Amino acid sequence: FPESFLSFLKANGLDPSIYIPRYVRLKPGVQQIESDINCKLDEVKWLPGFYSIPPHVHIARSKAYQQGMMYGIDAASGAAVSALGISPGDHVLDLCAAPGAKLCMMLDLLGDKGSATGVDVARHRLAACRTLLQKYGLGQRSRLFLADGTIFSVPPTTFKQWTSRRPYKERKQEAKARPEIIFYGQSSGVIGLKKKELGYDKVLVDAECTHDGSIKHIQKFEQWGWTTLERRVLDAERTDISLASLQLNLLRNGFRLLKEAGTLVYSTCSLTHAQNEDVVDQFLAENSSAELQEIETAKDWPCRSGRTPKTLRFDPATSATSGLFVAKIRKL
């Protein structure tokens, strides 16, 4: 690592030599697959369905992976989904969904009731998300939209039904800005909701960030070049101003799409305060109907408190995961 990044890690209390395992989540009902992947699965005691595996194991070649029995997802990312408290029948929105592992976990938790809507601004990443949903047989109750998450506005109703109720002039204007439907599962639209009930029960805003807490992402700079890391991760102006503004707007829109008494989780895989606590603090200051909540399931999680009370931080040294910030917000 370059000296600038080592200084960054030191400022955040992180040891760059920490050993980080990889994590997988097994599909519900899947039993032993150790003989197939030729390694021992170590159960993650604090997060149901998750297991750690050695970094050198290539799961992509295994039958278990190819047949959709498991998928790779960091345990910290799984914790962010778990914090939502998803129940069967919920209608869930993942506002920055690609490449799709968290959306798959949401659909696993929903079972055969409810729906999950994924939104992303990158077409190629959303295409990868669609492939995951189809691979794991999770397409029936899911839908994907190519759209800007800061202005996305489709509620959890059947798409045609929602648009057909509006006056022609409004529908014509809406058509120009309508998000592109990339995938629409047969049972993913909700029929019969009254307008006052419109909104998602649970919203995840796993916002675009500098990814400086992601070990896997940082390792890519060995090929991309460390000067690129200086520009894309350590550039204070980008981190503190333009990116934080995007994150705040994603959080605002996610909260707008949340129904009353619904739950939103804001997360990033950045270690900086500017992209985490500062964003949440500013959002709470401007929204009297937003209440920061304790994450009840976190009592056994290997994480530490964020600078803002009730927020949590995962990091390699504390959690043996990639870095992740998590905040849970309820709409009063």
Q: Annotated binding residues for S-adenosyl-L-methionine, as ranges?
A: 120, 148, 206
- The CB-based long-range contact list for 120-124 (8 Å cut-off, 24+ gap) reads 120/96, 120/144, 120/146, 120/147, 120/149, 121/146, 121/147, 121/148, 121/149, 122/98, 123/182
**Which residues contact residue 14 at a Cβ distance below 8 angstroms, ignoring those fewer than 6 apart?**
271, 315, 316, 317, 323
Residue of 104, 129, 269, 303 marked catalytic: 269
Residues 182/282, Cβ–Cβ less than 8 Å:
no
Number of H helices, E strands in the chain: 15, 14
Which three-class secondary structure state does DSSP give residue 22? strand
Query: At 9, which helix (H) or strand (E)?
Result: helix 3-11
- Cis peptide before 316, with omega less than 30 degrees from 0? no
As given in the structure block, the two tokens for residue 38 are 């030729």
Query: At 265, which helix (H) or strand (E)?
Result: strand 258-268
For residue 190, the cross-strand partners are: none
As given in the structure block, the two tokens for residue 243 are 């990116």
CB atoms within 10 A of CB 127: 16
- Give the dihedral of Cα atoms 185, 188, 191, 195; nearest 10 deg: -130
- What are the phi and psi torsion angles at 317 (to 5°)? -70, -40
Is residue 269 part of the annotated active site? The answer reads: yes
Catalytic positions, please? 269
